[in-house]
Amino acid sequence: MTMKKYIFMLLLGLGLASCQESLEERCAREAETFTRKNCPAKLSDIVTIDSMTFDRNTHTLGYYYTVTADGLDATSLATGGWRETLLRELKNTPTMKPYLEAGYGVDYVYYQDGDATKRVFEAHFTEKDYK
């Protein structure tokens, strides 16, 4: 091979390597894209997903919801097995696998419809919860 071919191969390799995005960059991009394209979205008669976020400093994915059911409050959510259901779903969601393997945290936050400041339920999962 000539020197020009070596240089071309080196530059091509460096160019391809620079196109690779990190898991952190991918997570941030996917959260922004999901929110922009899909939110808000009604998931059931009582739950709407408002946004998905990614905190680069803490490596935490955040899912934010609004609950629109009369009589559904923090006590009924906490005692109704929602945390366990969320954890089970988190562990069994194939698209979450790379983030869980990297030890990312996941937050689920539910607000009361009509009062965006009133959190009625939240669950935070870390590596020790899902491993």
pLDDT in tens, 95-109: 999 999 999 999 999
Return the pLDDT at 75: 67
Q: Any idea what DSSP says for residue 40?
A: S
Spatial neighbors of 82 by CB under 8 A, at least 6 apart, are 121, 123
Sign for the pseudo-dihedral over CA of 91, 125, 62, 26: negative
Q: Which residues of the chain have pLDDT under 70?
A: 1-19, 69-75, 78
Return the pLDDT at 7: 47
10 Å CB burial of residue 9 (0-12, 13-18, 19+) is: exposed
Amino acid at 94: P
21-130 CATH choice from 3.90.550.60, 3.30.230.10, 3.40.640.10, 3.30.300.250: 3.30.300.250
Beta-bridge partner residues of 123: 108
* pTM for this predicted structure: 0.80
Token duo for residue 51? 């946004």
Token duo for residue 41? 């979205």
Structural Rg of the chain based on CA atoms: 20
Return the pLDDT at 73: 65
Share of the chain above pLDDT 70, in %: 79
CA distance 80 to 86: 11
The 10 Å Cβ neighbour count of residue 90 is 19
Hey, where are the domains in the chain?
21-130
Spatial neighbors of 51 by CB under 8 A, at least 6 apart, are 35, 39, 40, 62, 63, 64
